[in-house]
Amino acid sequence: MYTPPFTVSAKAINLIADIAGLIERYAIRLEQEDGLLLRKINRVKTIHSSLAIEGNKLSEDEVRDIIDGKTVVAPIREIQEVKNAIATYELFSQLDAFKENDLLRAHGVMMQALVDNAGHYRRGGVGVFGEQGLVHLAPPADRVPMLMGDLFDWLKHSNDHLLVRSCVFHYEFEFIHPFIDGNGRMGRLWQSLILGKLHPLFEHLPVENMVYANQQAYYDAITASTKAGESGPFIDFMMQEIYNALKAHQGKPLKNKQVPGVPNKVPNKVPNRLRMLYPDISNACWEVYLQIKATPHATTSEIGLALDISDRMVRKHIATLRDCRLIERVGGNKMGYWKINK
């Protein structure tokens, strides 16, 4: 059986032990009452970060709006990239990280309408270019099927720890660069899928967000491994990022988390005359009204975090307030805000 060249450093061994301890703590964290909201927030961060690394300029709010089915004014290709990523990540539980055909299937969804041969390995040469010119010349196209077949065979049958295998696969995948486009986002997705074999929580851990925040270090680790002829430096980097991502999500429930610019408790009270005029409006809806009054430029997700309710419920309450003409929209979907009517 072919074995990719790699070394596991003392740092990586220590991180494996540390990550194992954090996994169970994060699993418990996801079972708290705000777990569903946390999963949604992390999915938005995952999709936004993975595409931003590839040059997509849509904001987290715009990605969230697309997920929620709202209209976003932006370049068609960037919107298509987000829609494709949403559809691909929705397949997460259906994809087997050890099956090569599932990789091709996922690429077909991820790159639909973006490249001509989505779901198929490239038929021509490809290189990775940086500011200094050519950084990496990928293997010839006619070798790709064999190289990917060997890589999947090793992934499935190796006795190495899944954390190690996920990092090695990610690096080797980027080195082979099997597709004409979409290799970066597919490599990060597939590492998460492999980690999902270790624990299902990795579907909801935004490792991509950590990579995005350390994008240059990510590329430097790939370059260092290429120069070394083995993926040891990349293993160290990704292990640290996984550890950092888990560590960052050991905090308090979202309802105790202060959102910048949005107070958790708004001191103002709804005037009695309004309550008498609109007796059918719920207390939860009035709380949204007060949040808008206190911070009119807050996003629906920020209001939801402050009140510990879902983004969908915030939008529902806003619709109620709008229909009662208690609030009105000033400006468009992207740059506008809700205004309290006097």
- Express each pLDDT in 255-299 by its tens digit: 444 444 445 444 457 777 787 888 888 888 888 898 888 888 888
Answer yes or no: is 203 a known binding residue: no
**pLDDT of amino acid 256:** 45
- The model carries a pTM of 0.73
Answer yes or no: is 196 a known binding residue: no
Phi and psi of 130, rounded to 5°?
-125, -165
Task: Please choose, from the candidates 129, 91, 138, the residue with its C-alpha nearest in 3D space to the C-alpha of residue 110.
Answer: 91
**pLDDT of amino acid 121:** 98
Answer yes or no: is 131 a known binding residue: yes
Longest CA span, the chain: 78
- Express each pLDDT in 214-240 by its tens digit: 888 998 999 999 999 999 999 999 999
Answer yes or no: is 219 a known binding residue: yes
Q: In sequence order, what are the residues at sequence separation of 6 or more whose Cβ sits closer than 8 angstroms to the Cβ of residue 18?
A: 243
In this predicted structure, which of 41-50, 185-194, 307-316 has the lowest mean pLDDT?
307-316
The alpha carbon torsion through 238, 243, 247, 253 (nearest 10 deg) reads 70
Answer yes or no: is 133 a known binding residue: yes
Answer yes or no: is 304 a known binding residue: no
Phi and psi of 328, rounded to 5°?
-145, 155
**pLDDT of amino acid 210:** 79
Sketch out the chain's domains with CATH numbers.
Answer: 10-248 (1.10.3290.10), 258-340 (1.10.10.10)
Answer yes or no: is 182 a known binding residue: yes
Question: Exposure pattern of 273-299 as b/e (b: 16+ CB <10 Å)?
Answer: eeeeebeebeeebbbbbbbbbbbeebb
Query: To 10 degrees, what angle do helices 100-110 and 183-198 make?
Result: 130
pLDDT at 192 over 90: yes
Cα separations in angstroms, 220 against 118, 191, 288:
28, 18, 46
Alpha helices in the chain (DSSP H): 10-30, 35-53, 60-67, 76-90, 100-110, 144-157, 162-176, 183-198, 207-213, 215-228, 232-248, 272-277, 283-294, 300-307, 311-323
Residue 49 contacts residue 312 (beta carbons within 8 Å):
no
Task: Please choose, from the candidates 50, 85, 43, the residue with its C-alpha nearest in 3D space to the C-alpha of residue 64.
Answer: 43
What's the whole-number average pLDDT of the chain? 87
Alpha helices in 257-299 (DSSP H): 272-277, 283-294
- pLDDT higher for 283 or 62? 62
Of 223-232, 247-256, 316-325, give the range with the top mean pLDDT: 223-232
Q: Which amino acid is at 160?
A: D
Q: Tell me which H or E stretch contains 340.
A: strand 337-340
Answer yes or no: is 63 a known binding residue: no
Q: Tell me which H or E stretch contains 130.
A: strand 127-130
Q: Which residues are catalytic?
A: 177
Q: For residue 132, what pLDDT band results from cuts at 50, 70 and 90?
A: low
Q: In sequence order, what are the residues at sequence separation of 6 or more whose Cβ sits closer than 8 angstroms to the Cβ of residue 161?
A: 16
